[in-house]
Structure 1
């Protein structure tokens, strides 16, 4: 019997889980970061980041095919030893815990700056933690259903951005390669950070029912993320201009302030509420897989108690940390650096090791 068959997910849930984790905070700030580095050519960096992220994603799938019924920890335990699986579980637990905490605190700061400036941090965090626990306690299958639901609920949002194109100037996109190739290559770095999230495939793979479509699913997830980032980046660029775009911290929200309807005064407030739902599909899997990694080390299956302690730790920590945008920027830099090592470099190293290991084993059996 398969170890993770009791909590398996469909291909669509697999796709939306990965795409949801990738969107995160990048949806709000990526257009500004690209404009600062590459101006009107920032969208080209998104395409380059997509190609690099897809290659790394497919490498992860190829590695996991060697041990389809287990996670990364089970694979390392089999190929390297028990100590390697335990070490990977510790590192992964810390990575996902810090990742989810950073994203959740950043969401609190966004909500405070736009909607509830007088509300204490711990109150905002409690308002996010309680529903997060109700979703995350259900396991991977419930997280997959939630990610799928959020996708369908927010499917209408990109069409509202098309309304801003009536007052846009497409000449802002020209000329191409205005300052050469170097600024575009510099803009690839934030794009790679924005595509992080596909590394969760290391842990999601054994839960997938139709594993033969894992490669297709992860390509579709990356493509969905690409389309969203391209849509938001191009819309903000042609509306604000590449120079004016750098003056807004969250340009994808600011562009909505220019839209007015008779039945609603501040459209961006409504959108921000839906943005929080999208961002929640980033921190929820992070919290669950942080707890999942710890449970794997101790051979436990019930993750609810540990999940409660993790969320309590999140709430209590804000009394001592007192987060600000500058602090979370530094945290995001740490998460991004770790993600680059874990998501973009580690899959190739592991693939080479597994390939050499299997080849040596075949030679020994042959002799």
Structure 2
């Protein structure tokens, strides 16, 4: 029996949901982080990160083909039993809730720092919680439509990054691999984490209308993310000197300060205000996956009340514990090993088990 036929997403929505879950706030700081570890060769690490994320994504699709009409929770329950399925639902719910909260709070911190410095972070997150609830309380189809809308609504923003190229110094990028492969491989860990978000495919696969296109769709999503990262990173590396770029917390935003219009000042503020929509396409799928896993854990159908509790917990946390970029970064670094396990190690191990299980089953039937 197909459980999710009433809430399906198109091929395009599938791509934009995965791409949106990957992009997020990481783009704002990524050029600096790469420059600190690998200098202007950091863009090579992006290609390595794309390669690993694409391989892991394709493994996820191969895993889900073993149970095409269910999510990863249904698959684990089918092969390992009810209680292991409950444990998997709990772990995934905790993981997505923690990761989504980190990005959600960082989104508020960026707004507070760049746009509304006099406004309390609690107020900002409360205001962000209202539209978040309105979208996440609906089904995955609405979330897919939102991701599709935001993609086409914000794609034009990328073209502003070609403006600083008129003052670019391409010699900053030369020579290539100037310090060897060790710094590049060190930076590759950062890029591998930057591509995380593709694991949302564990929950998108059963909703996809044309499942035969799942593999090409997830490759396109990863490649779109790579294209955005590469463009912004190379522009930043060619505009700033290798030492100068490390002095800016968010060089991606600072780049826009040189873009001027007669009718508009502080373009970077307008840019960030619109970029909030892009960040939301990271937060909302993570929140949806959280409440979806919670409903699976408790055997419920309606997930809307869990969205309320999730947002309230975030607000209570921010209200009682003062937040800062430093604290948020520490939490992000703390979740990185878990993300690598769930995004890369877990799919590989599960795929190996299912492959071995299917071979044994076929031999038993002979």
Same fold per superposition (TM over 0.5): yes
Structure 1 residue 175 corresponds to structure 2 residue 152: no
Say whether the 8 Å CA contact 1:35–1:246 is kept in structure 2.
yes
Say whether the 8 Å CA contact 2:147–2:281 is kept in structure 1.
yes
2:320 aligns with 320
Secondary structure in 2 matching 1:222: helix
2:267 aligns with 267
C-alpha distance after superposition, 1:45-67 (max 9, x if no partner): 00010000000000000010000
Task: Note the C-alpha offset of 1:357.
Answer: 1.0
Task: Note the C-alpha offset of 1:256.
Answer: 0.4
Aligned-partner Cα distance in 1 for 2:139–2:281 = 13
1:40 aligns with 40
1:222 aligns with 222
1:357 aligns with 357
2:187 aligns with 187
Task: Note the C-alpha offset of 1:335.
Answer: 2.4
Instruction: Please show how residues 216-255 of structure 1 align to structure 2 within 5 Å.
Output: 216-255=216-255
Q: What is the aligned length?
A: 366
Instruction: Please show how residues 1-367 of structure 1 align to structure 2 within 5 Å.
Output: 1-366=1-366
Say whether the 8 Å CA contact 1:79–1:357 is kept in structure 2.
no
Task: Note the C-alpha offset of 1:193.
Answer: 0.7
Task: Note the C-alpha offset of 1:334.
Answer: 2.1
Say whether the 8 Å CA contact 2:40–2:242 is kept in structure 1.
yes
Q: Gaps (5+ residues) in structure 1?
A: none
C-alpha distance after superposition, 1:4-52 (max 9, x if no partner): 1111100100000000010012110111000001111010000010000
Alignment RMSD (CA, Å): 0.8
Task: Note the C-alpha offset of 1:292.
Answer: 0.4
Could you state the TM-score of these two structures normalised by the residue count of structure 1? Answer: 0.98
C-alpha distance after superposition, 1:140-197 (max 9, x if no partner): 1111111111100111111111111001111111000010010100010110010000
Aligned-partner Cα distance in 1 for 2:207–2:249 = 38
Task: Note the C-alpha offset of 1:358.
Answer: 1.2
Secondary structure in 1 matching 2:101: helix
Aligned-partner Cα distance in 1 for 2:232–2:139 = 31
Say whether the 8 Å CA contact 2:295–2:301 is kept in structure 1.
yes
Secondary structure in 1 matching 2:294: helix
Task: Note the C-alpha offset of 1:321.
Answer: 1.7
